[in-house]
């Protein structure tokens, strides 16, 4: 099949008048009869859009109305990731090809409405909405067969003899005040500032010696954590801050050596990060521990007269028996 195709293409090129260009593309134009989309050169040859944005724009323009064109839907269709597809959609929005708005349906649900314009800036002309060209060409109407059916001819565009095609009419410009400039969001969000390595209130010689020993001995517990002398010297204040807060050396080793990433590319950065984000709070003192207030509970007593239960701090009579004794005494 490939040999027949090459022979047919060679014969078609040989029939072209004039010499062929030594380099560059040669168009072989075969008319479409169904399943085609008309794409303007302003999109296919856009000077500011990336190749991914142009490809996604052509793909969206070829889809029928109602097709899902969200980031996840496009990522499941193409090999590009969600980050590149999201950036391409922002490019199309910035140049007016794509518009995404949040609307509320009658049932109260919020949905994203995506509108794609094949000619940005030309949707409104003279205050009237222009009917868009259908994306998919309708099925051809069968015509009566001609008397003599011509054989199919392979059309090859000749570069030199053929005059350049006349430029397509530019769309009517829209005043700038009706289209405010679109601000494209940044592709990368600003990173939060990293927290500094904790430091003790006073780096005593004892704290320095203990912290240095803990850092130098980490490779005995995790062979990946091999620190240089400069790394140990830079990380001593962080370990000293843990020791100042009454953290046991075994607790510090466990926090620095468990569940390490494999392979750890930067051991010193891993130790610094864990010393910073896992720093325990200082132990509370006696003044921080407020006394617990307990509610006074009055015990139950049995009445000496009727043997009923009542609450009192000492044995005796209940309220009814005391009333009777008072009345009898009176």
Q: What confidence tens digit (pLDDT) does each residue in 179-221 have? A: 455 555 555 556 667 789 999 988 999 999 999 999 999 988 8
Of 307, 302, 303, 298, residue with least CA distance to 317: 303
pTM over 0.85: no
The residue behind tokens 């590009």 is 80
Report the 10 Å Cβ neighbour count for 6: 10
pLDDT score at 261:
83
State the virtual CA torsion across 108, 114, 117, 123 in degrees, nearest 10: 20
Over residues 76-128, the pLDDT tens digits come to 989 899 999 999 999 998 988 988 888 888 888 888 888 888 888 765 454 44
Token pair, residue 16, equals 């072209």
Q: How far apart are CA 88 and CA 42, in angstroms?
A: 16
């Amino acid at each position: 099949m490939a040999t027949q195709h090459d022979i047919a293409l060679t014969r078609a090129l040989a029939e072209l008048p004039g010499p062929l260009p030594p380099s560059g593309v040669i168009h072989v134009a075969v008319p479409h009869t169904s399943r085609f989309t008309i794409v303007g050169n302003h999109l296919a040859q856009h000077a500011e859009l990336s190749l991914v944005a142009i490809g996604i724009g052509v793909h969206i323009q070829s889809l029928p109305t109602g097709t899902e064109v969200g980031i996840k839907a496009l990522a499941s269709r193409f090999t590009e990731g969600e980050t590149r597809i999201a950036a391409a959609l922002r490019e199309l929005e910035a140049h007016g090809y794509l518009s995404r708005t949040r609307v509320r349906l009658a049932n109260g649900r919020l949905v994203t409405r995506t509108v794609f314009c094949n000619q940005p800036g030309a949707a409104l002309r003279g205050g009237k909405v222009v009917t868009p060209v259908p994306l998919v060409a309708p099925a051809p109407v069968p015509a009566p067969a001609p008397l003599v059916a011509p054989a199919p001819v392979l059309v090859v565009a000749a570069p030199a003899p053929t005059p350049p095609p006349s430029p397509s009419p530019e769309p009517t410009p829209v005043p700038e005040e009706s289209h405010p400039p679109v601000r494209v969001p940044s592709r990368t969000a600003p990173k939060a500032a990293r927290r500094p390595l904790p430091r003790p209130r006073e780096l005593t010689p004892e704290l320095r010696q203990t912290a240095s020993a803990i850092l130098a001995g980490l490779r005995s517990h995790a062979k990946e954590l091999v620190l240089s002398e400069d790394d140990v010297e830079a990380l001593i204040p962080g370990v000293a801050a843990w020791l100042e807060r009454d953290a046991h050396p075994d607790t510090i080793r466990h926090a620095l050596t468990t569940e390490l990433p494999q392979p750890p590319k930067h051991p010193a950065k891993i130790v610094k990060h864990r010393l910073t984000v896992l720093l325990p709070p200082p132990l509370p003192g006696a003044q921080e521990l407020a006394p617990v207030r307990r509610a006074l509970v009055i015990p139950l007593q049995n009445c000496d007269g009727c043997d009923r239960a009542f609450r009192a701090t000492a044995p005796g009579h209940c309220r009814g028996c005391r009333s009777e004794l008072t009345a009898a005494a009176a």
